[in-house]
Amino acid sequence: MNKSIDQNKAKLIITVTSIVIPLVVALLFSVKLDVELPIFLPPIYATINAVTALVLILAVRSVIKGNRDLHQKLMTFAMILSLLFLVMYVLHHMTSDSVKYEGDFRILYLFILVSHIILSVAVIPLVLTTYLRGYLGEFDRHRKIAKITFPIWLYVAITGVVVYLMIAPYYPV
């Protein structure tokens, strides 16, 4: 299998994707579908975030132990989970009204939520670049950016669960 690709084309695709995803998500938040989903999505996508965090940790452990093949499979799975989360998250917000946090820890909640949102946007180009470098076998460059990508992606996955747990009592029954 030939893994050579045009680096400039790859950078352009990563840049465009990193801009388009947040813009499309923001636009879709303004779309309200008059549809009642048969399932309540927030606990499902919170679980996906939790599984993503676990998969990320297992992926790092596997590469430390020298199992690159397992590492690659786990990282691919983490990307699929993140995409699945995003689809469910947007679908939920297109079909449901937003819920306001009304607890005693509002400032903490807002800090976690805002940092989660900002870093979830910032991590997109990092994840795509890190994955591409690993795929191409550029392991020194992959390792260098992965040291930045991993903690941010892990933070986003974990804070996604924390945000859900904090807001869950305020969802309508």
Using only C-alpha atoms, what is the Rg of the chain?
A: 17
For the beta carbon of residue 127, count every other beta carbon within 10 angstroms.
Answer: 22
Q: 141 in a domain, yes or no?
A: yes
Q: 89 is in which domain, residue-wise?
A: 42-170
**Averaged pLDDT in 10-residue chunks for the chain of 173 residues:** 72 94 90 89 96 98 97 97 95 90 95 97 97 93 97 98 96 82
166 Cβ contact list (under 8 Å, min separation 6): 101, 103, 105, 109, 112
Q: 20 in a domain, yes or no?
A: no
φ, ψ of residue 40 to 5 degrees: the values are: -90, 110
- Return the CATH number at 134: 1.20.120.80
Q: 37 in a domain, yes or no?
A: no
Q: 46 in a domain, yes or no?
A: yes
Q: 86 in a domain, yes or no?
A: yes
The domain tally of the chain equals 1
pLDDT in the model for residue 1: 47
DSSP 130: H
